Structure 1
Amino acid sequence: MSAASQLHFKSFNYTGQAPGPRVIVMGATHGNETCGTEAIRRVMAQIDDGQLAIQRGSVTFVPIVNPLAYAQGTRSGDRNLNRDLFPKANPQDFEDRVANWLCPLLAQHDVLLDLHSFNAAHGEPFVMVGPPDNDGPLEPFSHMAQERALARRLGVRRFVTGWMAAYGGGVQRRTRNSGAGAAELETVLRYGVGTTEYMRSTGGYALTLECGQHRDPQAPEVAYRAIINTLAFLKVVDAPEPQPLPFEEMEALQMVVVHDKLDAGDRFTREWASFDAVSEGEQIGVRADGTPVTAEFSGRILFPDTNAGPNQEWYYMTRPNPQFGRE
């Protein structure tokens, strides 16, 4: 019997006596991102000790979403849980089994706060936010105002939108180049769905908060503050309402385009980190055949992946999103 088969899934629910929103807060969706786990346990201890009371609605805490990856101290168990997150009738790996437990749990809630950290050597916390309200085929949504109001109260100043649109554009380009049909396109697009995208698909809204570098001692504090602010803003607890970050202090970025690594020999010309500024025409990398790769506009680079394989996402480009919060 495998060690993975001995693992179980665990969540903790606190329900108040008055009606209110159903909130779920998660940590360790990726097993080596433990700041959320620490913060959740800190908040639960305060509730259990009577320092914090759940007055309205409910909050469910999942300190460790992926117990296999957490036990291994790795990002993933068998694969990245935060892709292709759907219930599976015939689960093929451990993350499929997580999804079969997690997806119905998410669907029972109204609001998700998913706490993450990042691997880059430097960088400040940021929050990934969903699309504007729309009824389109890629990511229909109707809670933009509530989601963005919460995002502005998490305690960070940097906001990133456009994940599914940029990811979907890259998928469409790859499938056109490969001659794939519509069915394959839909299958590959599903791979872009993680916890927040699945939560939105059930009618709720959701935020992914990147709390800092994995080992940054401040990352658990960022996660803790975000949890408390979320519960206070949604009036699940009686606490002073956190004030929104002023527009003039915000840096909002829109993911615009993803560039793929085409050959194993493609390489960056320097060690890039997420949110490094690039100028239009600046060289970012070089293709295996010597062709320079340059920025098509001035903006910031996001998720540069030196270890990407051929035909995988190599880096994203973002540009300022001045309309964020004002739509």
Structure 2
Amino acid sequence: MSRAPHFRSIQYTGQGPGPRVVIMGAVHGNETAGTQAIGRVMAQLDSGELAIVNGSVTFVPVANPLAYAKGERAGERNLNRSLFPKPHPQDFEDRVANWLCPLLAAHDVLLDLHSFNSPGEPFVMVGPRDNDGPLEPFRHEREERALARVLGVRRFVDGWLRTYGAGVQRRLRDDAQLDTVLRYGVGTTEFMRTTGGYALTLECGQHDDPRAPDVAWRAIMNTLAHLGCIDAPRPEPIARDRMEILSMCEVHDKADDADAFSRPWSSFDRVRQGEEIGRRADGTPVLAETDGVILFPDSGAKANHEWYYLARVNSEF
């Protein structure tokens, strides 16, 4: 007899005051580097090799147990979209959200551990600058970016929700739908910021890269040391001259299912102004309007959905 998956979190609380930290893996079921790293850190804590001395740390080894059991990205849909509590849940991920969102809201800091499909080096997604705007108001820029710099990676990307929102505005003809569709762009980190906390998504490497769990483990340990949760030296932030800083600035949609890339693009491939990126179904070339970096190319995207993003190199962080 099959059983409905249950949800699991494990908390360790120190005796001293400190931040309430939550660390998650397997928001997408085929991204297991975080799950493996969390298991390794919990084993250290349970054996007494490591101790939480200040604040608390909650581990969620598998955020989406149905997707994890299937070994696939999603259970019934992408958990990392439209992540809000749902009074009338329509699918499994809605039920996850009804458990996960209150858990996130009870914490101050989130580290969400992911991996990606194509070969490439790890990178971290950071949030917006401090602002009081309507899209993504925020007031923890300094703390969030300081944490990002000690995770152990050199590549940083910002601008996700801003760029996604601009694409939504261009795509929609009925402005009354705008708020609903913008909410679709909210995942774990965006939701965490709505609760007054701050959050980072660390992409630890390719799904099957044997180094990815080590990247995740190092990031967890550096996070706990940086925040003073464990008795360990504070990690040194990466030097600014070693950082690659990218700001997402454009999203381009497919106009037709038959639109196609001119070559197999991978995230972080550089493009030059005027370079051909793809062709529309009628043969019209799609050219880069400026020098930039391709992010999240999706050859399988459907018409009127995101095809690829462009980012610009930024000197400020």
What TM-score comes out, normalization by structure 1 length? 0.96
- 1:42-53 to structure 2, matched below 5 A, reads 42-53=40-51
> Is 1:202 aligned with 2:200?
no
Q: For 1:156, give the aligned amino acid.
A: V
Q: For 1:19, give the aligned amino acid.
A: P
1:37 to partner: Cα distance: 0.2
- 1:55-70 to structure 2, matched below 5 A, reads 55-70=53-68
**C-alpha separation between the residues in 1 aligned to 2:151 and 2:245?**
14
Structure 1 residue ranges (4+ consecutive) displaced by more than 2 angstroms after TM superposition: none
> Is 1:117 aligned with 2:111?
no
Could you report, residue by residue, the CA deviation over 1:232-285 in whole angstroms, capped at 9, with x for unpaired residues?
000000101100000000000000000001101100000000000100110000
Q: For 1:210, give the aligned amino acid.
A: E
Q: For 1:314, give the aligned amino acid.
A: W
1:38 to partner: Cα distance: 0.2
Q: Secondary structure at the match of 2:124?
A: strand
Could you report, residue by residue, the CA deviation over 1:287-319 in whole angstroms, capped at 9, with x for unpaired residues?
001110011111110000000000000000000
Match of 1:180 in 2: 174
**C-alpha separation between the residues in 2 aligned to 1:75 and 1:321?**
31
Match of 1:307 in 2: 300
Q: For 2:132, give the aligned amino acid.
A: D
Q: Secondary structure at the match of 1:211?
A: strand
**C-alpha separation between the residues in 2 aligned to 1:245 and 1:287?**
41
Q: For 1:309, give the aligned amino acid.
A: K
Match of 1:214 in 2: 207
Match of 2:226 in 1: 233
Aligned residues: 317
**C-alpha separation between the residues in 2 aligned to 1:173 and 1:274?**
23
**C-alpha separation between the residues in 2 aligned to 1:128 and 1:234?**
19
Match of 2:275 in 1: 282
**C-alpha separation between the residues in 2 aligned to 1:261 and 1:38?**
36
Q: Secondary structure at the match of 1:6?
A: coil
**C-alpha separation between the residues in 2 aligned to 1:294 and 1:195?**
33
Match of 2:35 in 1: 37
Match of 2:139 in 1: 142
Could you report, residue by residue, the CA deviation over 1:104-140 in whole angstroms, capped at 9, with x for unpaired residues?
00000000000000001x1100000000000000000
> Is 1:259 aligned with 2:252?
yes
- 1:7-156 to structure 2, matched below 5 A, reads 7-120=5-118, 122-156=119-153
**C-alpha separation between the residues in 2 aligned to 1:46 and 1:56?**
17
Q: Secondary structure at the match of 1:142?
A: coil
Could you report, residue by residue, the CA deviation over 1:187-215 in whole angstroms, capped at 9, with x for unpaired residues?
00000000000000000000000000000
- 1:266-277 to structure 2, matched below 5 A, reads 266-277=259-270
User: Structure 2: any 5+ residue segments left out of the alignment?
Assistant: none
What TM-score comes out, normalization by structure 2 length? 0.99
Q: For 1:226, give the aligned amino acid.
A: A
Q: Secondary structure at the match of 1:95?
A: helix
| Structure 1 vs Structure 2 CA RMSD | 0.8
Could you report, residue by residue, the CA deviation over 1:154-212 in whole angstroms, capped at 9, with x for unpaired residues?
0000000000010000000001xxx2133x10000000000000000000000000000
Match of 1:170 in 2: 167
Match of 1:159 in 2: 156
Q: For 1:171, give the aligned amino acid.
A: V
1:225 to partner: Cα distance: 0.1
Q: For 2:230, give the aligned amino acid.
A: V
1:323 to partner: Cα distance: 1.2
Q: For 2:53, give the aligned amino acid.
A: Q
Q: For 1:130, give the aligned amino acid.
A: G
**C-alpha separation between the residues in 2 aligned to 1:192 and 1:234?**
29
1:141 to partner: Cα distance: 0.2
- Identical amino acids, percent of aligned pairs: 70
**C-alpha separation between the residues in 1 aligned to 2:304 and 2:96?**
28
1:100 to partner: Cα distance: 0.1
> Is 1:242 aligned with 2:235?
yes
